[in-house]
Amino acid sequence: MNLKKYYIILALFCSQFVVAQEGLPVFLDYLQDNLYLLHPSMAGASKTTKLRGTARGQWAGVEDSPALQTVSLNGRIGEKVGVGGILFNDRNGFFSQQGVYATFSYHLLLSRNYVELNQLSFGISLGVLQGKLDETNFDLTDFDPVIAGIEQSDSYINVDFGMSYNFLDFFAHFTVKNVLPTNRDIFTEAFEPNNQRRYIVSMGYVISPNFSDWSFEPSALFQATERTGEANIDLNAKAYYKLDWGRLWGGLSYRRSLDGAEFTPNGETVDIQKTQFVSPFIGGSYDRFLFGYTYSNQTNSVVLTNGGFHQVTLGYNLGENKDPYDCNCPAVN
């Protein structure tokens, strides 16, 4: 087996996703005041219009390692309607995809006034995406009728749907990504099923001690892919510190897959490895500006590299659409 084929196989083994990713990958940027990137129902849920940009690199030190860049904007129009948009570029070796999402959301205030937070939100995103498979550097001397030796591309659409509930310091979200079945011509059913539906459930609570500038937010996120049965869970602990000019935060996230991949370490016995990541993160806001950094380390015994995963988030709040709620609820205040 040549070196390039070895890296491809090992990369697939160590990756968080077994099949080719359709739509935006689910990473940890939702912990950096960027919930809209994951949940369409959070478009316009905050009192401010939010502009966010992210850049993520995986397996530092590995040539052509996976990378993702996103730009998003969301805000509220009037009292109940939210809108948003996302641009992204995702590259993983010979595969890449670019896309744009447009989001419409609707927010129902269930409380008797506009100060107490009791809000049920619904959101839907329509995405137009293009997937590419670059075969120009493939070795064509070993004939394979599937390999054309060109850059193949295919465009398609898909839909994400979600709902959120924010009640004082408690929050919960449910999102279905890639609702529509999709066949991409650059893949075959043997390599990629047309059912890419992914279900995401998350919830948390902000604990605010009396007469303290500190607050603490334990949360959890569960996601599962319908066709392949892949599932994993995030357990998160986050702390905030309030300042006159903004807010600082930091925390730790632990992600573990609930299913395992079989491998043979010595050619005789078969072991099962469940993917797990430990991700410390820090961030802060100053006036209208925001910065966040997330580092992820894969803690399995078999890994591609010890270089880790790095993600940077930059943000700017364009302006306030409404008065803040009377709660310690960073996601919407």
The helix (H) or strand (E) run that includes residue 6 is helix 3-14
Residue-level pLDDT, tens digit, the chain, 333 residues: 344 444 444 444 444 433 345 678 889 999 999 999 999 999 999 989 999 999 999 876 777 788 999 999 999 998 899 999 999 999 887 888 999 999 999 999 998 877 789 999 999 999 999 988 877 777 666 666 666 666 777 888 999 999 999 999 999 999 999 999 876 665 555 556 677 899 999 999 999 998 899 999 999 999 999 988 889 999 999 999 999 999 999 999 999 999 877 666 666 776 777 889 999 999 999 999 999 999 999 887 666 666 689 999 999 999 887 778 888 888 898
Mapping DSSP to helix (H, G, I), strand (E, B) and coil, where does residue 121 land?
strand
Domain hosting 309: range is: 3-318
Please report the pLDDT score of residue 185 as a whole number.
61
Q: Which residue has the tokens 């993917």?
A: 275
CA separation for the pair 321, 333 (Å, rounded):
11
Of 32, 107, 106, 45, residue with least CA distance to 74 = 45
Instruction: With respect to residue 325, please indicate whether it lies within any of the assigned structural domains.
Output: no
Give the CA distances from residue 156 to residues 69, 152, 160, 178, in Å, rounded to whole numbers and listed in that order: 20, 14, 14, 11
Phi-psi region of 14 (alpha: psi -120 to 50; beta: other; left: phi over 0): alpha
The helix (H) or strand (E) run that includes residue 67 is strand 67-77
Number of domains in the chain: 1
Instruction: With respect to residue 328, please indicate whether it lies within any of the assigned structural domains.
Output: no
171 within 8 A of 42, measured Cβ to Cβ: no
Please report the pLDDT score of residue 305 as a whole number.
60
The dihedrals phi and psi of 222, each to the nearest 5 degrees, come to: -120, 135
Instruction: With respect to residue 327, please indicate whether it lies within any of the assigned structural domains.
Output: no
**CATH classification at residue 93:** 2.40.160.60
Instruction: With respect to residue 329, please indicate whether it lies within any of the assigned structural domains.
Output: no
Instruction: With respect to residue 34, please indicate whether it lies within any of the assigned structural domains.
Output: yes
Please report the pLDDT score of residue 6 as a whole number.
40
Of 6, 100, 32, 12, residue with least CA distance to 284 = 32
Beta-bridge mates of residue 131: 97, 154
Instruction: With respect to residue 333, please indicate whether it lies within any of the assigned structural domains.
Output: no
Contacts of 1 (CB under 8 A, 6+ apart): none
Please report the pLDDT score of residue 191 as a whole number.
57
Instruction: With respect to residue 330, please indicate whether it lies within any of the assigned structural domains.
Output: no
Residue type, 161: F
86 within 8 A of 15, measured Cβ to Cβ: no
Give the CA distances from residue 322 to residues 41, 56, 144, 227, 319, in Å, rounded to whole numbers and listed in that order: 18, 32, 60, 42, 9
What is the distance, to the nearest Å, from the Cα of residue 150 to the centroid of all Cα atoms in its chain? 30
CA separation for the pair 100, 86 (Å, rounded):
5
Of 159, 154, 123, 152, residue with least CA distance to 135 = 152
Please report the pLDDT score of residue 306 as a whole number.
62
Question: b/e for 294-304, b at 16 or more Cβ within 10 A?
Answer: bebebeeeebb
Mapping DSSP to helix (H, G, I), strand (E, B) and coil, where does residue 11 land?
helix
279 within 8 A of 293, measured Cβ to Cβ: no
Instruction: With respect to residue 332, please indicate whether it lies within any of the assigned structural domains.
Output: no
